[in-house]
Amino acid sequence: YEYGTEAKIEFPQFILPFKMDKFYKKYQPKTILRAGYKFQKTPYFSNPVTFATFGYYWRGSRWVNHIINPIEIRGVKYFNFDPAFKEYIHSRYIYEYSFQDYYISALSYSYTYNDNDNKNLKNHKFLRFNFEISGNLLYAYNSFIGSEKKEGSYYTFGNIFAQYYKTDIDLRYYN
């Protein structure tokens, strides 16, 4: 089984330390705060996930949307492993990393172009480009305080933190 909850607050402007009056009127900006919790129980393990996001949304034009999340934090934990399953993942090195507790501290950006006006479902284009980078701030913090790597990784709050760059593109043409 799986259950979870999420809370979201949207402010109809950017929450910034400076004013952007012209931008506010033209691009319909929003500041979005999200937080949530999800719990998954399988026959093989239990898995709670907590997350919080602080970000901005705005319309670049009639067809273009932008989302930037300068702060995304997720915590993932695994426990209550079935003994046979735990032995299986330990015997296969590649799976072991998939079931470690970890933190993700990320920054993400999403660009969406969609010229569908909802009147005609044919002859329209859709493009979504996503970019996410994780671990740089935690790495900089660990380097600044002089933390030593343990087993080849840095740790925060007793858990490994994820470091990665990720991008994807979704391009569609409806004919």
pLDDT in tens, 12-41: 988 887 877 767 677 889 999 999 999 999
pLDDT at 95 > cutoff 80: yes
Judging by DSSP bridges, how do beta strands 64-76 and 159-161 pair with one another?
unpaired
**pLDDT band, residue 150 (cuts 50/70/90):** confident
Find the mean pLDDT for residues 130-143: 89
What percentage of residues in the chain have a pLDDT greater than 90?
Answer: 55
Confidence of residue 174 (pLDDT cuts 50, 70, 90): confident
Q: Give 98's pLDDT tier (boundaries 50, 70, 90).
A: confident
Tokens of residue 70, six digits: 């300068």
- Please list, in sequence order, all residues whose beta carbon lies within 8 angstroms of the beta carbon of residue 148, skipping any fewer than 6 positions away: none
Distance (Å, whole) CA 111 – CA 143: 32
DSSP class of 149: P
Q: What is the CA radius of gyration of the chain?
A: 20
Element housing 90 (H / E): helix 83-91
For the ranges 41-45, 100-104, 152-156, the lowest mean pLDDT is seen at: 152-156
Q: What is the dihedral of CA 46, 55, 115, 27, to 10 degrees?
A: 160
Tell me the pTM: 0.82
